[in-house]
Amino acid sequence: MTEKLIDGVYIEGAKIADTKAPTGPIVERWETRKFQTRLVTPANRRKLDVIIVGTGLAGGAAAATLGEAGYNVKAFCYQDSPRRAHSIAAQGGMNAAKNYKNDNDSVYRLFYDTVKGGDFRSRESNVYRLAEVSANIIDQCVAQGVPFAREYGGLLDNRSFGGVQVSRTFYARGQTGQQLLIGAYQALQRQVAARTVAMYTRHEMLEVIVVDGRARGIIARDMVTGEVQTHLADAVVLATGGYGNVFFLSTNAMGCNATATWRAHRKGAYFGNPCFTQIHPTCIPVSGEYQSKLTLMSESLRNDGRIWVPKDAADCGKDPRNIPEEDRDYYLERKYPAFGNLVPRDIASRAAKQVCDEGRGVGPSGLGVYLDFAEAIGRVGKDAVSAKYGNLFDMYARITGENPYEVPMRIFPAVHYTMGGLWVDYDLQSTIPGLFVTGEANFSDHGANRLGASALMQGLADGYFVLPGTISDYLAGGPYPKLSADHPAVLEAQASVRGRIEKFLSVNGTHSVDHFHKQLGHILWEKCGMEREETKLREAIEEIRALREEFHRDVKIVSKDTDLNQELEKAGRVADFFELAELICIDALHRRESCGGHFRAESQTEEGEAMRHDDKYAYVAAWEFTGVSKPPVLHKEDLVYEYVEMKQRSYK
């Protein structure tokens, strides 16, 4: 590793490689790896303990499956029930290569669409496995009783999502995540009743215990009593979701945070591609200064809704119903005729920003575009549109006070998902042996941009099929030596957590946690949001560092640690967000290309599209933590494409 400081902010270390990924024909790799994996006999599984943090789709499915297999599982969530996991908020659907519409879909086409949608910054092997497993997920969920939408004859229905030209998305009206989560929850509760899974609700993981280089447990805080607890195991699985709330305003639930993954990163788990954050194009626009979160309007709405703005900025203040057809600019249909309104999210978001920057945005702030269903209602009728999207229309009406059946919706891009996450190998194991990471918490499957309806696919694939198929290879080396509560590594982790809590409570500053979080989000959105450039990124890094120091000097936490104390909870999460935000900007600064959700203003085509530089940046950026205010170390994992040709994306 060279100690040379690059760009004044980071150091480049040795390259990293995924040593678990098998070689050979891509269609055989997953089966090959499963055969190579060491097994644990059913009798020995009862001797092995696994901790799973997070009980959304990825974590809940993993806990249920590993419990069913016979392992001793402890599952943790900070909500009062696994049914409140943010997975419940997913609306539009889940992709699977079933080809029910007979439109030439296939596992290979889903694989290709996902690699292309991610702008050629994901691993071929991982993405092909995801596409291959997708069909099994549908069978699993149907067997659980998930009420997917069906056609008149009783067959499962499909619809289209962005970045594809086939219909492969299975859905349950506009509440697919909720129905899938109930399926995973009932499977989980069955194992709780069977005593193979012990469920710990209202517990937040605050540290990972690493002994002799292996993950051996966690430190968790009971959020009701404040008790700091130690939980030990043979392996730890993180299924804690993404870090979109680092931007303050996002479509994520208010409690979503990055503390579990960031604590693991500080202990040695590399962080992959943190600057790959997704801005979703169809969200209800910001309504005021005191708003605390944003609301998603499902991408599925773009199947029937048409996106437009006035051609003339002078018409932006008019009632949209009074603007004639010839004076409307259906800009996505105009620019991308082959895909129209169903282009990938990164492209649709930048296009919306562009027309608003031109002064043609609508709504009170000028930051909005229309999503219009008049044509669809005229074509199939109001009842048919309501049958597909009724709950989404009701939600929009309650929030905005406008009737979307009569007046076009107003939408604008917002932070929604994070493609970056902890680096994992083909087995979903991080750089800390024994620490596995699933779902949105890892980086592995979506490259620089996730296609719509693929988050549910990845979460359930990892939880039901991939992790249970790979974790046995590690657990076959156990059970590992039993640890005592007074082991030095355990005591050190406990002391670290208690010291952090005491420090927050002792500051007694003058500003709330939200005061600082909001400022942090503003810096990120303005300088590392939909468009990034070097000068602003450097400014952001310095501003984040200064604000972080002010936060630790002037934050005010009321009450005490033995109470239900939400300000204390938020303080820990926001402290981690400050460190993560700096790494996001460093990663964005170092990647001097545009790809997917990462758009560098200095790297674009003459038509304003993202321009990659495959000769320099065809790699995963895996970052190693070296200390607060110390330069992180960049480890590059080269991306090799054997089955997909790397080329400039085109959706025209």
Query: Domains in the chain, ordered, with CATH?
Result: 32-279+417-475 (3.50.50.60), 280-416 (3.90.700.10), 490-638 (1.20.58.100)
Torsion (CA) 180, 181, 185, 186 in degrees, nearest 10? -30
How is residue 364 annotated by DSSP?
Answer: T
Phi-psi region of 54 (alpha: psi -120 to 50; beta: other; left: phi over 0): left
pLDDT for residue 198: 98
Q: What is the pLDDT of residue 288?
A: 84
Identify the pLDDT of residue 559. Answer: 82
Q: In 10 A of CB 615, how many CB atoms?
A: 7
Provide the token pair at 194. Answer: 């069977």
Note the pLDDT of residue 3: 77
Regions of the chain short of the pLDDT cut 50 = 1
What was the pLDDT predicted at 1?
A: 47
Distance CA 253, CA 170 (A): 24
* C-alpha pair distances (Å), 433 with each of 76, 100, 563, 602: 20, 41, 35, 39
- 354 residue type, one letter: Q
Strand partners, 49: 72
* Secondary structure letter of residue 432 according to DSSP: S
Tokens in use for 135?
Answer: 């069909």
Distances (CA, A) of 493 to 497, 546, 611, 617: 6, 28, 45, 37
Q: Is 566 exposed, middle or buried (0-12, 13-18, 19+ CB in 10 A)?
A: middle
- What gap in Å lies between CA 438 and CA 419, rounded to an integer? 12
User: Given the structure tokens 């990164």, which residue do they identify?
Assistant: 346
The length of the chain in residues reads 652
H/E element, 411 = strand 409-418
- Which of 345, 450, 573, 600 is catalytic? The answer is 345
pTM of the entire predicted model: 0.97
Amino acid at 178: Q
122 Cβ contact partners less than 8 Å away, ≥ 6 residues apart: 114, 115, 444, 445, 446, 447, 448, 639
What is the model's pLDDT at position 505?
A: 95
Residue 398 designated active-site:
no
Q: Which phi and psi angles does 17 have, rounded to 5°?
A: -140, 150
**Under a CB-based contact definition with an 8 Å cutoff, are residues 108 and 116 in contact?**
no
Q: What is the C-alpha separation between 351 and 545, in angstroms, rounded?
A: 32
